[in-house]
Chain A
Amino acid sequence: MNNPINHNNSVTHVSNDKFIWKDKVSQIASKYGILLVLLVMMITMSFLSEAFLTTQNLLNVVRQISFIGIVAMGVTMVIITTGIDLSSGSVIALVSVVSASFAHPGEFSIFVPLLIGLCIGALAGFINGTITAKGKIPAFIATLGMMIAARGLALLYSDGRPIPDLSSAFLFIGKGEILGIPFPIIVFIIMGIISHLMLSKTKFGKYTYAIGGNEQAAKICGINVDRYKILIYTYAGLLAAIAGMMLTARISVGQPSMGNMFELDAIAAAVIGGTSLTGGVGTIGGTMIGALIIGVLNNGLDLLGVSSYWQQILKGIIIVSAVLIDARKHKKV
């Protein structure tokens, strides 16, 4: 009688150990997996193309994704609360044309277009947040409305035409370099650090995760859920404005068609970086790496001469794969 019982015990023990071991691997994989993917991609690319691992090319990649990356930080926070922001691309366009119109040489101080741009972005985000939180309607709808309306407003304001002739001070934010590093990259890193600290070290951040983790419980814990939601959307709008103005300076014109599909790339960066659409999960670091993965993918495929059509297809596959992996991770728990 004793033997089979003993036998059984040892079996469960082994499977338990295995389970723990597997758990640890998956823990490490889920924590650093995205970074590993990026490294593997970079190593592979450096073998496939000599042009890839040069300072110039790498700076190029990072500068290219810095715009999306900045937007994606705000989107990450929004998604952590189980929201979504579809309006960032259109907000970029609106900020682009309005700030450009105040940035002609010799007219205003550089601070005027910058300040106006930031205000527009923040206002758009504030409206998104207020409608979502106070109106109790899905963020998808609220920001879809903003996406359409802000694009229309950009076209109306610019009469559908690009706005050229910008001051050199304004152009610096898109084209300038400090110690050989493009200005947008510096802003990307600074905003990354700020956003990361906000999310991981402040009350604002803890509440953001709490709202996404369980909104009902957050209310009972005394969190003013509506107010924090509005703050989060406002911050997302502010980041879109920063990206919009730098992008405008980068191409030297205010463009009402700018930022098309940007919102989706930003969401993709966040999702690839491990932000969960079910809320409560996501990091700024992950999102920045997610943006870099998109950048390396674009750049690598460019260098390899893969057609842009194929690039789109691959990007689609990667995004869905990232979410599939995320969904499996959640099922396990």
Chain B
Amino acid sequence: MSENYILEMENVTKEFPGVKALDSIQFKVKKGSVHALMGENGAGKSTLMKIIFGIYTPDTGMIKFKGHDLKVSSTKEALKNGISMIHQELSPVPHMTVAENIFLGREPTKGKFGWVNNKKMIEDAKDLFKTLNIDLDPNSKMKDLSIANMQMVEIATAVSYDADLIIMDEPTSAITEKEVEKLFEIINSLNAKGVSIIYISHKMDEIFRICDEITVFRDGQYIGTKETTELTQDTLIQMMVGREIKQVFHKEKAEIKEVILAVSNLSKEGKFDNISFEVRKGEIVGISGLMGSGRTEVIESIFGIDPPDSGDIFIHGEKVKIKTPQDAIKLKVALLTEDRKLSGAFLPISIKENMIISSIDQFLERGYINKKLVDEACNEQVEQLNIKTPSTDQLIMNLSGGNQQKVLLARWLLNDPDILILDEPTRGVDVGAKSEIHKLMSKLAQKGTAILMISSEMPEVLGMSDRVIVMHEGNKKGELNREEANQEKILEMAYS
């Protein structure tokens, strides 16, 4: 039985503080086959891959590779065992040559002192490219390559380990049609040699073309494995979303009035194209789409972080020019960014200072900051948002994710925005804080704030939005209002 499978995983569980990323899942890959792993954002795909590749160790469960128990605690061990991986994000060393990049960490050596054998390295790289039918010079510097060619080098590197199992995480996200064909040729010849592939992609047509079997995960749970021929695009999507929305969302009816924010034909080369939509007073508009669909880029350009190449933005019916976040803030736009650590919180600084930083002018008195005004405003926010902290003098980094997020929300509320843009407002936030944030959104909408929310969480999008905009690869695929929106429709648009 088990000789058929190169990889067998059973009852594998991995928990992170607050989330069960994988809940007693199973996953089996046949020898010499291409196996697709499907699921929405947060389904547990990347956690599983990281376990197989030795980046995470599972809490419990059994993993058998080539019939033996697999215990890898580093990527180096995984590679030694015959598992290699093409990562979604490229990590080239730009100033080294293609050959040096391929053989990084395992350079061929010569002599007693272990000098790097450059000649052999380049020969080996040439041979590798020849067998893979890739037309690249191993001597060129990585930084001079196009992104697509860098991706091809990454693919070649993964193949060069002579692995029995290659994990491919979105291998085609950066390459064109032509290179995709080449990749598929490579995969076919690898299969012929008995090498197995785990293939992760958001592109349905690729999945149906190249994969033999498909396993679906949802919310950290194993849903099922089917042969590709048994499935259609529709039935696959059914498997991926087939969840009842159990959570209750605190969406209350708000009076939707005139248009406050309108964008028309917004374009930015390489990021998004011809995006138009409106947000009304009292309305919550959700933007759905896969990661990399251009959602974040659109709102960042509206906020002036990276202004669009063309297109117009209207606020309260007037055409506005937003070149910097300062301009946006003056127009009473607020943006809660996606990544708290990277672009939200000032970690070494107190809660209080984190809150007032973008509305500081209202606390100035003859050039000095009036401590009393600050304390009053901050304490009011702490109370209103139920931020759990002994004092606003605490450093923000001592707070939990949910409380940090509330502090950042408070920062923007102090500006009393007309338009509130929220990028993944509840990512990494515990359940309690999450529902509090949702309640707050409802309340703000009732007070007349126009809210634009990006979320990767389908239940959140459906539960909170009056209208949903779906994006795919930089384009707006469509718009659904609250009544007609459901998971199937959204996913169909997002994956098309």
Contacts and interface: CB of A to CB of B under 8 A. Distances in A.
- Looking at A203, A209, A219, A280, the one whose CB has the most chain B CB atoms below 10 A away is A203
B369 A213 contact: no
Contacts of B348: 209, 212-213, 276, 279-281
A280 B357 CA distance: 14
Interface in B263-280: none
Contact of B360 (A206, A213, A219, A224): A206
A107 B395 CA distance: 56
A280 B349 CA distance: 7
Interface in B352-367: 353, 356-358, 360-361, 364, 367
Given A209-B353, A220-B337, A214 B361 contact: no
B325 A220 contact: yes
Interface string A178-219: 000000000000000000010001110011011011101111
Contacts of A209: 346, 348-349, 353
B407 to A, nearest CB: 12
Given A213-B346, A224-B326, A280-B349, 16 more contacts: A203-B361, A203-B369, A207-B360, A213-B347, A213-B348, A214-B343, A214-B346, A218-B357, A219-B324, A220-B303, A220-B344, A222-B325, A276-B348, A280-B348, A281-B348, A333-B398
A51 interface: no
A224 B361 CA distance: 14
Contact of A280 (B328, B343, B347, B358): B347
Interface string A216-258: 1111111110000000000000000000000000000000000
A30 to B, nearest CB: 12
Interface residues of B, number: 32
Contacts of B303: 220
B357 A206 contact: yes
B342 A213 contact: no
B329 interface: yes
Given A206-B357, A220-B335, A222-B325, A280 B346 contact: yes
Nearest to B353: A206
Nearest to B349: A213
Contact of A202 (B325, B335, B367): B367
A206 B356 contact: yes
A219 B358 contact: no
Interface residues of A, number: 25
B404 to A, nearest CB: 12
B369 A221 contact: no
A202 B346 contact: no
B345 interface: yes
A222 B349 contact: no
A221 B361 contact: no
B368 A202 contact: yes
Contacts of B395: 333
B367 A220 contact: no
B361 A217 contact: no
A296 B195 CA distance: 71
Interface in B228-273: none
A223 B349 contact: no
B369 A202 contact: yes
Contacts of A210: 346, 349, 353, 357
A27 B324 CA distance: 39
A200 to B, nearest CB: 9
B31 interface: no
A224 to B, nearest CB: 6
Contacts of B328: 222
B104 to A, nearest CB: 26
A213 B341 CA distance: 10
Contacts of A212: 348
22 contacts: A201-B368, A202-B368, A203-B367, A206-B356, A207-B360, A209-B346, A209-B348, A210-B353, A212-B348, A214-B347, A216-B342, A217-B342, A217-B344, A217-B346, A219-B324, A220-B335, A221-B325, A221-B329, A222-B330, A223-B358, A280-B347, A280-B348
Closest 6 CB pairs of A and B: A213-B346, A221-B358, A280-B348, A222-B329, A216-B343, A222-B326
B38 to A, nearest CB: 34
B237 to A, nearest CB: 36
Nearest to B300: A220
A212 B329 CA distance: 21
Contacts of B397: 333
Nearest to A203: B360
B72 interface: no
A207 B349 CA distance: 11
B305 interface: yes
Contact of A220 (B305, B356, B361): B305
B411 interface: yes
Interface in B303-354: 303, 305, 324-326, 328-330, 335, 337, 342-349, 353
Nearest to B358: A221
Contacts of B343: 214, 216-217, 220
A242 B357 CA distance: 31
Contact of B305 (A197, A213, A219, A333): A219
Contacts of B367: 202-203
A197 B325 CA distance: 28
Contacts of B353: 206, 209-210
Given A210-B346, A213-B347, A223 B357 contact: yes
A161 B96 CA distance: 49
Contacts of B364: 203
Contacts of A214: 342-347
Interface in B122-138: none
Contacts of A276: 348
A91 to B, nearest CB: 27
Interface in A271-287: 276, 279-281
B357 A201 contact: no
Contacts of B345: 214, 217
Contacts of B337: 217, 220
B305 A221 contact: no
